[in-house]
Structure 1
Amino acid sequence: MKRRSRISAVTLAFAMVFMTLASQAVFAGGGQQKKSDGTIRIGFINAFLTTPYQAPLDAAAVKRAKELGVELILVDGKADSATMLSQAQSFIDQKVDAIMFVPADMAGSITIVKAIHAAGIPVIGVNSRPDPSVENLLATQVSCDLEYEGEVIGKLVASHFPQGGKAVTIEGFAGTEAQQKRTAGFKKGLAGSKVEVVQEVIADWDRAKAMSAADDLITRIPDLKIIFAQDDSMAFGAIEAVKAAGKMDQIKVYGIGFMGDESRAYLKSGELQGTCTQSPSYEGVTGLELAVKVIKGEKVDAYYRTEALPVSKENADSIDHGFNVN
């Protein structure tokens, strides 16, 4: 179908590269055995290796590792905490110097973080926070404030709809920190407005699933005014559903992440009403650099926040989205 064919070439390219890399482990250095030449070795367990956001994050970390002469071993957690625990144990056995970690969900992160910490290996949280009960075991964390991101979009929607209207949310994997906190923040941003969130649905950060979910919501809620998707990729799917229903004038779509040149194009065309920044390049590079600092015994802060700036048609050209990794 034509409306399913607009997945960007950049996203597909990232996905193809990282599907190949995930089957082996990605190296900015040599093999998997413990190095005796002093080379820093960092394991990177990423729950969502090939998603549109994580792929450029991974690429930025790999690039920075090569620049620093660091060996980075990147593995695909396949959004499964049991798989990731096994990968963590493998890194422990390899005696890596540090482990960067993007959890699949908060509950599943507990055992993984505890196991790595018990082995005396520093854990660097990247992109998503682990369960609060083990945050104190992290050496440091780089991520957005997920609730604040949702709040930024909620306030933007409230300013665009002073007259109010019905809104729905299209969300990522159930149980993840992002899925929970972005919707909580969105509602916080809407507080005091006349906008009402009438339904929340899960679409697993998947563009096609988001389009299908939006199709259903548009049919069941004829006076729907607002769709908030928890990332821009799902927002693109929702836009295709709105266009197919012939309701572009009635229903406005918002996302999160300012996900590359495709987001910029959707904003400038007016099809995407608003989003906010979350640079994957910043998180990948900063996570890698923090891991190196921790290994060297340098002082780091407990938390580094990824910026969340509101983006609309008016300022889309003036803000760097951080998705192009050269």
Structure 2
Amino acid sequence: MILRTRGTLAATGLLVATGMLLAGCGSGAASDGSDGYTVYALLPQGNDQPYGTTYLPPMQEAAAKAGIKLTITNSQYDADKQASECEVAVAARPDLIILWPAVADTVRPCLEAAKAADIPVTVTNSDVIPADKSLIKAYSGPDTYGQGAASAEIMCELADGKPTGILMVNGLTGNTTAINRRQGFLDTIQKNCPNVTVLAEQPGNWNKDTSQTVTSEMLTSVGAAKVQGIYAADDTMVAGAIDALKAQGIDPKPLLITSIGNTKLGNPLIKSGELDGTIFQSSSWDGQNAVVVAEKVLKGESVDENLFMPSVKVTAANADSPEVAPEW
């Protein structure tokens, strides 16, 4: 799928033709912007996902304002598909590539190809693995480690020193966001509240139905009576975990449950008391700042290695605040 700057949806097959057209325009190094910059944004989602639906318009608006001709792809979290899209992008010789890795530990060949073609790469939303950081100019998006840590801080406060056995529902295996959120959570409970113990963990793959299934399996294998809480790496998965509790006749309200996102799915769970805390993530900030960072690189301006969006804790006390109104 290609989404052009003005929001026109074109078929995937047009990507190659577009790449051939842009090949005559891009030089592999940033132009002076007089004729507009050309940028490929290699994303793993688009209007097929709630996050992408609210991420894309601010990205496209920022690109139009900056004079950037933006070609956007959607690999649907297929690493092989994104690799093919990267080949097309590099062949097109754009001024810059924005990359949101579908699977972080598979993108090095893409980064190396871009470097060989003298095409700078910035990364958005989900960072590359540490070994690949030297191949990119900058990252913008959530502080995924910090999000996991912040969710753990809520859990520690709720546990209040009491022995608490919890289940952990992680994101997609191999995804940097999933890895960092898991580690941020684990490091923080180990440091701040060792009374909180992870009894079992499974990947929910950012999917509600999968998360319900794996939570049900963990409740059975561990024994529901031993479970006092759940941490899920995003609101979609925590909703599935809560459904699993209900399916087994367990009231989620007495349990300690935390997540990340403060989405349109998670925020009502906060208000109902079924979810105790989550971390606000702004999809609009994410899309806009992907272009803000890219534009700075294109103009030769200095950029920080990481531009992190604010991570705001959301509980019943501030769930109605306009500052954390759910976006996706």
TM-score normalized by structure 2?
A: 0.84
CA contact 1:166–1:196 (8 Å) conserved in 2: yes
Q: How does 1:30-179 map to 2 (within 5 A)?
A: 32=19, 33-34=21-22, 38-49=35-46, 50-162=48-160, 163-179=162-178
Q: How does 1:1-326 map to 2 (within 5 A)?
A: 23=12, 32=19, 33-34=21-22, 38-49=35-46, 50-162=48-160, 163-191=162-190, 192-220=193-221, 221-223=223-225, 224-248=227-251, 249-259=253-263, 261-318=264-321, 320-321=323-324, 324=327
Alignment CA distance shift 1:176-1:184 (3 Å): same
Distance 1:79 1:186 in 2: 24
| Runs (5+) with no aligned partner, structure 2 | 1-6, 26-33
Distance 1:117 1:197 in 2: 42
Q: What is the CA-CA distance between 1:186 and the residue it aligns to? A: 1.0
Deviates more, 1:124-133 or 1:64-73: 64-73
Q: What is the CA-CA distance between 1:112 and the residue it aligns to? A: 1.3
Distance 2:86 2:300 in 1: 22
Q: What is the CA-CA distance between 1:243 and the residue it aligns to? A: 2.3
Identity %: 24
Deviates more, 1:232-241 or 1:312-321: 312-321
Q: What is the CA-CA distance between 1:244 and the residue it aligns to? A: 2.6
CA contact 2:42–2:73 (8 Å) conserved in 1: yes
Aligned length: 303
Q: What is the CA-CA distance between 1:24 and the residue it aligns to? A: 6.1
Distance 1:56 1:25 in 2: 24
Q: What is the CA-CA distance between 1:183 and the residue it aligns to? A: 1.5
3-state SS of 2:107 partner: helix
Q: What is the CA-CA distance between 1:284 and the residue it aligns to? A: 0.9
Distance 1:22 1:147 in 2: 36
Q: Write out the 4+ residue segments of structure 1 that deviate beyond 6 Å after TM superposition.
A: none
CA contact 2:41–2:99 (8 Å) conserved in 1: yes
Cα deviation digits, residues 7-50 of structure 1 (max 9, x gap): xxxxxxxxxxx9x6674679xxx955227681222111112444
Distance 2:153 2:248 in 1: 27
3-state SS of 2:172 partner: coil
Alignment CA distance shift 1:312-1:25 (3 Å): farther
CA contact 2:155–2:257 (8 Å) conserved in 1: no
3-state SS of 2:271 partner: helix
Q: What is the CA-CA distance between 1:264 and the residue it aligns to? A: 2.2
Paired residue for 2:30?
A: none
Q: What is the CA-CA distance between 1:303 and the residue it aligns to? A: 1.4
Q: What is the CA-CA distance between 1:219 and the residue it aligns to? A: 2.9
TM-score normalized by structure 1?
A: 0.85
Distance 1:60 1:85 in 2: 25
